[in-house]
């Protein structure tokens, strides 16, 4: 059952075009020239209940604008949105009950108050019964290790602590849908890991639907089976992360180093390689190959080489998600 | 009831938040008090220097002044989030209002605690308290209800202009200057009987920016001075309705403009 659907979603932003030349500031005040920037340009997507979907794209691609339309903050210029069967901007309050939102760049907590008070206010706004609130608070305090800073004013929290507080605030009323806009931005490795584990647990336990934007592909590798990539407001790719990898990195990279007396043997082995292997470099004791696994097994290649040359070191790797995404962002398209 | 409790606790939280910065909280208490004292002295000077304004006695003007100040105070105490509304919209803080399952009006009302507005309300009530017993009014239940409604209606007239102009913040306009102008206008001109002004100014205050309905018109009803109004007496009795009508228009404008909200950082 789809929890989130968007069809041909478009959002235009208008602003007054700045006038150039003499007295430009004053003339800008009186100009009627408007310019329209299309931030989201016909996005269609659908997310099923319980899915964690990574919503990726370079800066300015339209990720946050999409999220803001899905959360009911922005009204779409055209197209339709439904979140748990409701149009977010028309049923703003009912929609708000269903969703949890974290904007990594900006806190939703009360700046001057202790974290616990923010959580309590939120619990009250979402009409949580007292015992339910207590139970959730205790559970989240433990899961997110918030005990040490529950009584600290939010403005005094570290970024990692604040982000955990924001996550707690977004899930304490147990919404079936979570929108996480860069929840790991600016955090250290340990803090990122803690947040990933938390998202994973909430998703597993409550079957929460999660739409996540991030620039950290470790988040994606760890959490998202499915990803949607957008750029310039358009969907470039929507499918399994593994599929993208297969498309972009079908080959395995094998690096081999042989001992000093194996130089000739290696040269011979390189000449005798099975079909489906390509030599990318060969220089004395070292050689690198690209293996197409659908044509020949990596193990077979290794066996063939080691039968002829004394291998001292070997590594097999696949292309990293990072490189794939970089290539897509640069090419601004996805190869079929 | 739940909604009331949400508002109330948000308000308490805001007070506690303010008190975190203790020195600044105390300073704002002191300045709030000073500000109102200066206001009082000014009123006293005006009322004692002029025997009568446009045929109105000292305390009659006091009643009028008191109605306006109370009405104004009632609005600014209830909805003082609007004071920094331009900033809320420009910096994208409005996002936070939109993702909470609480009506927008409830989030704008009673969620912030500021001292100066409280001063306006207290001074207004104080002035009414001393002026009303010193004028001759034939009190009856109807008149008491009328006074209460007139004050609420006055608050809504004030609010209609504040809310209506704040609506344009969604178009990235600076609306604070507009609101300050209205504040200033009603403070300077709205505190005296409009009958003392020239016809064009009086017409402006009655029909264009109807602040005459905030205090002057209700005061003529209380004081039996409806004869000096440029319209029949029943219109004066209906004056609280003006506030309700204007606020409906302002709410409509605010809601329709809010569709143009662009948030911040895309």
Tokens of A305: 């080489």
Helix, strand and coil in chain A, % to nearest 5? 40, 30, 30
3-state secondary structure of A4: strand
Q: Is residue A63 part of a domain?
A: yes
Q: Assess whether A213 and A265 both reside in one domain.
A: no
* Residue B261 Cα, gap to closest chain A Cα (Å): 7
pLDDT in tens, B230-253: 889 999 999 999 999 999 999 999
Higher pLDDT, A242 or B218: B218
* Separation between Cα atoms, residue A4 and residue B182, nearest integer Å: 45
Alpha helices in A45-181 (DSSP H): 63-70, 92-98, 115-125, 130-143, 159-171
Give the separation between CA A236 and CA A63, rounded to whole angstroms. 13
- Domain membership of residue A324 (yes or no) is no
* Residues A240 and A95 grouped into a single domain: yes
Backbone angles phi, psi at A313, to 5 degrees: -150, 145
The ipTM (two decimal places) reads 0.80
Structural domain spans, chain B: 2-258
> B253 in contact with A at a CB cutoff of 8 Å?
no
- Asked which of A213, A246, A279 is the last residue of a domain, the reply is A246
Least trusted range by pLDDT, from A22-26, A74-78, A154-158, A304-308: A22-26
Contact A315, A254 (CB under 8 A): yes
Dump pLDDT digits (tens) for B195-207. 888 888 888 888 8
> Contacts of residue B20 in chain A, CB cutoff 8 Å?
112-113, 153
The mean pLDDT of B179-188, rounded to a whole number, is: 84
Least confident window among A125-139, A215-229, A266-280: A266-280
Q: What tokens were used for B11?
A: 């308000």
Asked if A128 and A211 sit in the same domain, the reply is yes
Phi and psi, residue B227, nearest 5°:
-60, -30
> Which range (A50-59, A64-73, A157-166, B50-59) has the least confidence?
B50-59
- Range scoring the smallest mean pLDDT among B9-18, B57-66, B151-160: B9-18
- Total structural domains in chain A? 2
Give B8's contacts in chain A (Cβ within 8 Å). Answer: none
A48: pLDDT strictly greater than 80: yes
Same domain, A193 and A281: no
Q: Is A334 inside any structural domain?
A: no
pLDDT of B51 strictly over 90:
no
Choose, out of A11, A17, A94, A106, the residue to mutate when testing the contact with B (most B CBs < 10 Å): A106
For the cut 80, the answer to whether the pLDDT of residue A280 exceeds it is yes
Q: Note whether A33 and A137 are same-domain residues.
A: yes
Supply the pLDDT for residue A12. Answer: 92
Together in a domain, A294 and A205? no
Give residue A121's pLDDT.
92
**Which tokens go with A167?**
């996550």
Which has more pLDDT, A249 or A328? A328
Q: Could you give the angle at the alpha carbon of A70 between the alpha carbons of A236 and A237, nearest 5°? A: 10
Among the candidates A199, A221, A246, a domain finishes at: A246
CATH number at residue A279: 3.30.70.1150
CA distances from B102 to A243, A324, B3, B7 (A): 42, 43, 8, 9
- The CATH number of the domain where A54 resides is what? 3.40.50.300
Find how far residue B83's CA is from the centre of its chain.
Answer: 12
Task: Kindly report the average pLDDT of chain B as a whole number.
Answer: 86
Same domain, A108 and A188: yes
φ and ψ of A309, to 5 deg: -120, 145
Q: Which residues neighbour A98 within 8 Å (Cβ) at sequence distance 6 or greater?
A: A83, A84, A86, A175, A176, A177
CB contact under 8 A, A96 and B99: yes
**Is the CB of A105 less than 8 angstroms away from the CB of B265?**
yes
Render the burial of B223-242: b for 16+ CB within 10 Å, e for the rest. bebbeebeeeeeebbebbeb
- Of chain B, the percentage scoring pLDDT greater than 90 comes to 33
Per-residue model confidence (pLDDT) at position B20: 76
* Distance from the B36 Cα atom to the nearest Cα atom in chain A, whole angstroms: 28
In chain A, whose CA is at the least distance from the CA of B21? A112
Residue A258 lies in a domain: yes
Structural domain harbouring A169: 2-246
Q: Which of A18, A88, A112 best probes binding to B when mutated, by most B CB atoms within 10 angstroms?
A: A112
A205 and A99 in one domain?
Answer: yes
pLDDT > 80? residue A324: no
Two tokens, residue B236: 């004066």
Residue A10 has pLDDT above 90, yes or no: yes
- Each residue of B115-137: pLDDT tens digit? 777 878 888 898 899 889 999 88
B6 touches chain A (CB under 8 A): yes
pLDDT over 80 (residue A65): yes
Nearest to A83 by CA among A176, A200, A173: A176
Chain B partners of A71 at a C-beta cutoff of 8 Å? 98-99
CA-based nearest residue to B246, from B157, B132, B175, B130 = B157
Provide the chain B residues 136-195 that lie in CB contact (below 8 A) with chain A.
Answer: 172
Beta bridge partners of A46: A5
More confident residue, A243 or A323: A243
Categorize the per-residue pLDDT at A130 as very low, low, confident or very high, splitting at 50, 70 and 90.
very high
Q: What is the mean pLDDT of chain A?
A: 88
> Are A22 and A134 contained in the same domain?
yes
* A322 or B250: which leads in pLDDT: B250
Nearest to B87 by CA among B178, B165, B171, B174: B174
Rounded Cα–Cα distance for residues A7 and A222 (Å): 28
The fraction of chain B above a pLDDT of 70, given in percent, is: 96
Q: What is the pLDDT of residue B266?
A: 58
* Closest residue in chain A to residue B3, using alpha carbons only: A125
DSSP string covering A84-104: TTB-TTTSHHHHHHHEEEEET
Shared domain check, A224 and A258:
no
C-beta of residue A255 within 8 angstroms of C-beta of residue A314:
yes
């Amino acid at each position: 059952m789809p929890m989130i659907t968007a069809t041909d979603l478009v959002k235009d932003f208008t602003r007054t075009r700045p006038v150039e030349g003499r007295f430009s500031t004053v003339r800008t005040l009186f100009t009627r020239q408007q310019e329209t920037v299309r931030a989201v340009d016909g996005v269609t997507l659908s997310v099923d209940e319980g899915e964690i979907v990574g919503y990726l794209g370079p800066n300015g691609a339209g990720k946050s604008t999409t999220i803001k339309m899905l959360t009911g903050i922005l009204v779409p210029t055209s197209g339709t949105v439904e979140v748990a069967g409701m149009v977010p901007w028309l049923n703003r309050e009912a929609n708000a009950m269903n969703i949890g939102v974290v904007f990594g760049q900006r806190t939703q907590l009360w700046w001057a108050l202790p974290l616990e008070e923010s959580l309590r206010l939120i619990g009250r706004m979402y009409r949580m019964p007292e015992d339910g609130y207590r139970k959730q608070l205790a559970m989240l305090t433990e899961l997110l290790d918030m005990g040490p800073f529950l009584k600290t004013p939010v403005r005094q929290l570290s970024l990692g602590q604040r982000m955990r507080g924001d996550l707690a605030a977004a899930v304490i009323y147990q919404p079936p849908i979570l929108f996480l806009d860069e929840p790991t931005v600016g955090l250290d490795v340990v803090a990122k890991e803690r947040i990933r584990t938390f998202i994973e647990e909430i998703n597993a336990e409550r079957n929460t639907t999660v739409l996540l934007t991030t620039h950290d592909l470790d988040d994606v590798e760890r959490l998202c089976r499915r990803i949607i990539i957008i750029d310039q407001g358009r969907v470039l790719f929507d499918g399994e992360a593994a599929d993208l990898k297969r498309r972009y990195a079908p080959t395995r990279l094998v690096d081999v180093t042989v001992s000093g007396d194996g130089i000739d043997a290696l040269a011979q082995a390189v000449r005798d390689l099975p079909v489906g292997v390509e030599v990318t470099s060969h220089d004395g004791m070292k050689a690198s190959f690209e293996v197409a696994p659908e044509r020949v097994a990596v193990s077979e290649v290794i066996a063939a080489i080691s039968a002829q040359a004394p291998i001292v070191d070997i590594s097999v790797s696949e292309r990293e998600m990072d490189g794939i995404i970089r290539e897509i962002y640069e090419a601004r398209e996805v190869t079929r | 009831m739940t909604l009331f409790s949400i508002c109330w606790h948000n308000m308490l939280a805001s007070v506690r938040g303010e008190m975190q910065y203790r020195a600044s909280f105390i300073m704002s208490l002191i300045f709030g008090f000073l500000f109102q004292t200066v206001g009082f002295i000014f009123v006293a000077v005006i009322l004692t220097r002029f025997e009568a304004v446009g045929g109105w006695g000292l305390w009659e003007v006091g009643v009028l002044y008191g109605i306006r100040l109370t009405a104004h105070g009632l609005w600014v105490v209830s909805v003082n989030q609007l004071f920094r509304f331009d900033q809320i919209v420009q910096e994208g803080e409005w996002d936070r209002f939109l993702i909470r399952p609480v009506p927008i009006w409830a989030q704008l009302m009673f969620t912030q605690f500021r001292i100066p507005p409280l001063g306006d309300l207290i001074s207004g009530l104080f002035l009414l308290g001393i002026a009303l017993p010193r004028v001759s009014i034939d009190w009856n239940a109807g008149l008491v209800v009328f006074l209460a409604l007139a004050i609420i209606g006055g608050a809504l007239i004030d609010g209609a202009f504040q809310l209506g102009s704040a609506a344009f913040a969604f178009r990235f306009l600076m609306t604070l200057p507009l609101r300050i102008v209205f504040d200033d206008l009603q403070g300077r001109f709205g505190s005296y009987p409009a009958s003392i002004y020239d016809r064009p100014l009086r017409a402006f205050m009655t029909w264009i920016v109807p602040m005459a309905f905030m205090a002057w018109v209700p005061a003529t009803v209380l004081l039996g001075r409806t004869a000096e109004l440029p319209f029949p007496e029943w219109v004066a009795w209906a004056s609280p309705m003006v506030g309700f009508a204007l606020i409906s228009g302002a709410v409509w404008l605010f809601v329709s403009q809010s569709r143009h909200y662009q948030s911040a950082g895309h």
